[in-house]
Chain A
Amino acid sequence: GESVGLHLPTLSVQEGDNSIINCAYSNSASDYFIWYKQESGKGPQFIIDIRSNMDKRQGQRVTVLLNKTVKHLSLQIAATQPGDSAVYFCAEKSYAGNMLTFGGGTRLMVKP
């Protein structure tokens, strides 16, 4: 069936560098795409979302890019900090439904 997935299972970056986490999706009917951060022992935490009619949205130190042509989503984290170390999930939601469909996650490790 249609699904949301990630290219890289683990990403290791130096503190202060920028991080880019990628995600591929296949459901063209998705209306929203969302990034969640999950730290060990905690539930997922909302970071940022983007509606399907947008191609870029910025938050505090984070930017989400959406390329509908190739069905690709990315999360950019500027000046990565040790506190950014976590597993990051992309998820999608269709306008008609209420559930989120998650991908498999990318672990971000920040080296001091």
Chain B
Amino acid sequence: DTGVSQDPRHKITKRGQNVTFRCDPISEHNRLYWYRQTLGQGPEFLTYFQNEAQLEKSRLLSDRFSAERPKGSFSTLEIQRTEQGDSAMYLCASSSQGTSHTEAFFGQGTRLTVV
């Protein structure tokens, strides 16, 4: 296992289109997080899963955003009717319930550009 994997690494889309990102966490990690990061800023929390259950959602996660983790393994983040303000790096992280939950491991992110 090489860590948290995100796909695609880069996505350019036209405003109004829908996009979907995938995250594959470290295999034994049952906790999965999505964050959004804009240039020069720290990551902002979007949502959190424990196994397949989505337990927390930020108010940043508008109704155009939806995240799923159907089998408690990989997760998808979908953005519908994209807007230019959605342009950002979308980061996924995972951690194990059995270890310090501050030591989340991040993927390399998906950079979204909405034109």
Contact: B41 with A98, CB < 8 Å?
A: no
Interface residues of A in 7-61 (CB under 8 A from B): 32, 34, 41-46, 49
State the CA gap A45–B101 with chains docked (Å). 14
A108 to B106, CA, bound (A): 20
Q: Is the CB of A102 within 8 A of B109?
A: no
Asked if A46 and B4 make an inter-chain contact with CB atoms under 8 angstroms apart, the answer reads: no
Contact flags B1-34 to A (C-beta < 8 A → 1, else 0): 0001000000000000000000000000001010
Q: Which residues of B lie under 8 Å from residue A99 when comparing CB positions? A: 33, 45, 48, 56, 58
Is the beta-carbon distance between A32 and B40 smaller than 8 angstroms? no
Q: By CB atoms of chain A within 10 A, which of B101, B102, B109 has the most?
A: B102
Q: Which of A32, A42, A49 contacts B108 (CB 8 A)?
A: A42
In the bound complex, do residue B42 and residue A43 qualify as a contact, i.e. CB atoms below 8 Å apart? no
> Which residue of chain B has the shortest Cβ distance to A87 in the bound complex?
B40
Q: Which residues of B contact A (CB under 8 A)?
A: 4, 31, 33, 35, 40-45, 48, 50, 55-56, 58, 91, 93, 100-109
Identify 16 residue pairs between A and B in the complex whose beta-carbon atoms are under 8 Å apart, listed by A's number. Answer: A42-B108, A42-B109, A43-B107, A46-B103, A49-B103, A93-B101, A93-B102, A98-B33, A98-B48, A98-B55, A99-B33, A99-B48, A99-B58, A100-B102, A103-B42, A104-B41
Closest 4 CB pairs of A and B: A102-B42, A43-B106, A99-B45, A49-B102
